[in-house]
A and B are shown apart, each in its own frame.
Chain A
């Protein structure tokens, strides 16, 4: 890992990324100066995966362009998270390939590929023994990205400011709400300087206000940071809010892939059934 300290701009002037949530002051200049990602394309071909007799993925084909935000939409248990884990290299497929910018994913050593891929886990996966700031700084410190810990703290503060949690630097993850944990996990992923950022059910278990905050955060990141984003969710509103294109996963296959309008007008029964409003008229 090369020393990247010189890439950090000591002062602002990089057009700031607004903080997530309300009252977004200009923030994140330190991080934006450091971020140097290159959006990558993802090509998934004939991906299959079974766990015992349970065939989860049955031949997934998907091509994602560099810099776009693709939402993979589907019912619970259709293999969305499993698909995401194949993209980052945490699962090895039974057959098929995943190429990131033309390079096959390293299944034996996730995180070691030619491109930086970061993931925001559904459980947030924060380390409970570390403070919020130490969680975010973990990647930078372990890889000794900067010799000067002051620069690490600057990047961390900046990343937390972007996700709207600058006042939570010193608290422990156990006292944070689910939405806050998701935002800290996003900040931790951001400081990795990812070319591809994956979100696994980013709004699962959150209230509508926090869901909106997370949606705004993903949109902000897309507008201000050049990277490809793949979001797995069963939250239809979120999908239509943030997606450039939506892939609908059903029975282990992608049954429809296209812009939100195409998905809304899709005649396919399985897609219509999924995107239809959950509740009809008031029964009373």
Chain B
């Protein structure tokens, strides 16, 4: 019974925070400095790790799929397979997991620390809305940065797939054949599919991590617990919503 109560309490809290954050998006232009700061942290500083993950994700896709396709004599389709997989699934999900682990954890830790050390209370007493001041800039920055990061990781993933396809003796595909097949199969709608998911994951990660951070009470131990909770909840929700988003996008024919 307690678990059910807690589930509805957290769900209600998340929806309520999302609604309040959307309301405060009206003042985004007056808070561009804070949004830019967050964009720098979420976007720019994530690029090196994003490149590494993208490169090896594309590479491992080509490594797994290439020899199997070669057995059936259709190894030229590796480009399309890697391209579509990266754009529609691997790119958005890997980018979301990277951002949740790297940025979401930092968001949760910072806000949890601010809650524990009375900084959120100090904002309230100064009549500064914590959602406008702290959550909205993180929300906007995450929702903007994640799709850009996905495009970046997609492109690097394609390259990783091309390198592995060309050096793997079982596949041995030239770059031109790889990219020709990729460009034949990956169209604009596939890109949009991935970007819609990325935006959705940005909403989930920022709201979950900010919510958990703001609800933290206690001391340093609770800050650590909150970070773990925020990251795990983000991962779980990203994967659950990925399934439902895919179904809806298939239904809407955006695939």
B99 to chain A, nearest CB (A): 20
Interface digits, A124-147 against B, CB 8 Å rule (1 contact, 0 not)?
A: 011100000000001100110000
A230 to chain B, nearest CB (A): 14
- What is the CA–CA distance of A169 and B184 in the complex, to the nearest angstrom? 60
A111 touches B133 (CB 8 A): no
| Chain A neighbourhood of B124, CB < 8 A | 90, 110-111
B126 touches A192 (CB 8 A): yes
| Chain B neighbourhood of A111, CB < 8 A | 124-128
- What is the CA–CA distance of A192 and B122 in the complex, to the nearest angstrom? 12
One of A118, A123, A138, A142 near B118 (C-beta < 8 A): A123
A142 touches B125 (CB 8 A): no
| Chain A neighbourhood of B127, CB < 8 A | 109-112, 143
| Chain B neighbourhood of A121, CB < 8 A | 118, 121-122
| Chain A neighbourhood of B117, CB < 8 A | 123, 125
A138 touches B121 (CB 8 A): no
| Chain B neighbourhood of A243, CB < 8 A | none
- What is the CA–CA distance of A85 and B121 in the complex, to the nearest angstrom? 9
Task: Tell me if A221 is interfacial: C-beta within 8 Å of chain B.
Answer: no
B126 touches A125 (CB 8 A): no
One of B114, B125, B128, B133 near A88 (C-beta < 8 A): B125
| Chain B neighbourhood of A138, CB < 8 A | 126, 128
A241 to chain B, nearest CB (A): 25
B119 touches A119 (CB 8 A): no
Task: Tell me if A160 is interfacial: C-beta within 8 Å of chain B.
Answer: no
B106 to chain A, nearest CB (A): 12
One of A118, A123, A126 near B125 (C-beta < 8 A): A118
A146 to chain B, nearest CB (A): 16
B120 to chain A, nearest CB (A): 9
A117 touches B119 (CB 8 A): no
B133 touches A125 (CB 8 A): no
**Which residues of B (99-139) have their CB < 8 Å from a CB of A?**
114, 117-119, 121-122, 124-128, 133
A142 touches B121 (CB 8 A): no
One of B118, B119, B128 near A139 (C-beta < 8 A): B128
- What is the CA–CA distance of A90 and B118 in the complex, to the nearest angstrom? 11
B119 touches A142 (CB 8 A): no
B126 touches A142 (CB 8 A): yes
| Chain B neighbourhood of A85, CB < 8 A | 121
| Chain B neighbourhood of A119, CB < 8 A | 122, 125
Q: Which residue of A lies closest to B110 (CB)?
A: A129
Which of A88, A112, A142 is packed against the most chain B CB atoms within 10 Å?
A: A142
Interface digits, A96-124 against B, CB 8 Å rule (1 contact, 0 not)?
A: 00000000000001111000011101110
A90 touches B133 (CB 8 A): no
Interface digits, A9-50 against B, CB 8 Å rule (1 contact, 0 not)?
A: 000000000000000000000000000000000000000000
A116 to chain B, nearest CB (A): 9
- What is the CA–CA distance of A2 and B121 in the complex, to the nearest angstrom? 24
- What is the CA–CA distance of A123 and B121 in the complex, to the nearest angstrom? 11
Interface digits, B39-52 against A, CB 8 Å rule (1 contact, 0 not)?
A: 00000000000000
A110 touches B125 (CB 8 A): yes
| Chain B neighbourhood of A90, CB < 8 A | 121, 124-125
**Which residues of B (59-104) have their CB < 8 Å from a CB of A?**
none
**Which residues of B (118-166) have their CB < 8 Å from a CB of A?**
118-119, 121-122, 124-128, 133
Q: Which residue of A lies closest to B30 (CB)?
A: A144
- What is the CA–CA distance of A108 and B156 in the complex, to the nearest angstrom? 49
- What is the CA–CA distance of A89 and B124 in the complex, to the nearest angstrom? 9
| Chain B neighbourhood of A118, CB < 8 A | 125-126
B128 touches A125 (CB 8 A): no
Q: Can you give 8 contacting A-B residue pairs, CB < 8 Å?
A: A89-B125, A111-B125, A111-B128, A119-B122, A121-B122, A125-B118, A126-B119, A138-B126
Interchain residue pairs A-B with the least CB separation, the first 5: A111-B127, A125-B122, A125-B118, A121-B118, A139-B126
Binding site for A on B (CB under 8 A): 114, 117-119, 121-122, 124-128, 133
- Given A127-B114, A142-B133, 17 more A-B residue pairs with CB atoms under 8 Å apart are A89-B125, A90-B124, A109-B127, A110-B127, A111-B125, A111-B128, A117-B125, A118-B125, A122-B118, A123-B117, A123-B118, A125-B117, A125-B119, A125-B121, A139-B128, A142-B126, A192-B126
